[in-house]
Structure 1
Amino acid sequence: MDKHVGFGSVSSTDGTLVVPPEVRRELGLDNPDTVVEFVVREGEVVLLPRVAVHPNDVWFWEEGQQRAEREADEELAAGEVNPPMTGAEFLSHLEEVTGEKLGEGQ
């Protein structure tokens, strides 16, 4: 359902769009770093708030990583987790997996 909350404006010099304060508060757009997607739909402009992802974090949102995260969440929920290993246990595990002897100082 549409809700009319007022008018914004576009700066004639640089095209900056001014969003009414009521809209910014309701949609959480008060943060100056907020990202908004512009969609043109049947002659109207629709603004969609979006969460910006830092370029260093893009890998986390790729489908394969998200699938692995969901699997890990399911394992945690089912209690299918191993207790944390000590440093010595971890090195022993690595030796088993790699078949290499990991001595001290390496």
Structure 2
Amino acid sequence: MVVVTSVTTASMRPDPPRIEPCSSVDDSGRMSESLIVEPGEVMRMKTRLRGKGQITLPAEVRKYLHVREGDDIAFTLESGRVVLTGLTEVPTDQSWFWTEGWQQGEREVNEQIARGEGTVHGDGDEFLAALDER
């Protein structure tokens, strides 16, 4: 989520926030780079309003929102601010993954992995043999 405000002060320039780049693989198998802005950090940028009300989102904002050409962006007006949220379509045959129940299971697995729980199998045959032992 990116928050854009209409207040600008040119005289104050805060130190730039620490921004951590990270990489991930998108649905097409391509590496994509993301930005993580640490909690409490603020990243300020500007762009110019063009004819027909068009703006160009800076590359850093596109990375932060995980959007690319063709994606939708939602605008929410709240308390004198505009909040931008990147929207990505999920194919219907993959929507099960985003259900609350499945996501809860994903969170539980991530917590188990973080605690060092679980077994690593060298290959599929070892995995299937371990299932047969149960």
Bin the TM-score by the shorter chain.
0.5 to 0.7
Q: Which has the larger radius of gyration?
A: 1
CA contact (8 A) 2:72 2:88 kept: yes
Give RMSD over aligned pairs.
3.3
Amino acid at match of 1:86: E
User: Quick one: structure 1 residues 48 and 82, their matched pair in 2 at CA, closer, same or farther if it must change by over 3 Å?
Assistant: same
Structure 1 equivalent of residue 129 of structure 2: 89
Cα separation, partners in 2 of 1:35 and 1:77, compared to 1, 3 Å? same
Seq. identity, %: 22
Q: Would you say the 8 A contact 1:38–1:47 is kept in 2? A: yes
For 2:127 and 2:81, the matched residues in 1 are separated by 56
SS for the counterpart of 1:28 is helix
Can you give the 5+ residue segments of structure 1 that lack an aligned partner in the other structure? Answer: 11-16, 97-106
CA distance in 2 between partners of 1:89 and 1:73 (Å): 24
2:61 to 24, 27, 31: 27
Distance apart, 1:88 and its partner CA? 5.1
- The question of 1:49 aligning with 2:85 is answered yes
Q: CA deviation at 1:26?
A: 4.5
Structure 1-normalised TM-score?
A: 0.55
Kindly indicate which of the two structures has a greater share of residues assigned to helix. Answer: 1
Distance 1:66 1:45, change over 3 A: same
Partner of 1:59: 96
1:2-61 superposed Cα distances (whole Å, 9 cap, x missing partner): 346322333xxxxxx622x3x34342188312320133557x894613141422332222
When normalised by structure 2's length, the TM-score is: 0.46
8 Å CA contact 1:36–1:50 kept in 2: the answer is yes
Which structure 1 residue ranges, 4+ long, deviate > 6 Å from structure 2?
none
Q: Which runs of 5+ in 2 are unaligned?
A: 9-45
The answer for the alignment partner of 1:13 in structure 2 is none
Partner residue of 1:99? none
Q: State the distance in 2 between where 1:47 and 1:26 align.
A: 16
Contact 1:34-1:49 at 8 Å conserved across structures: no
Q: Does 1:74 align with 2:111?
A: yes
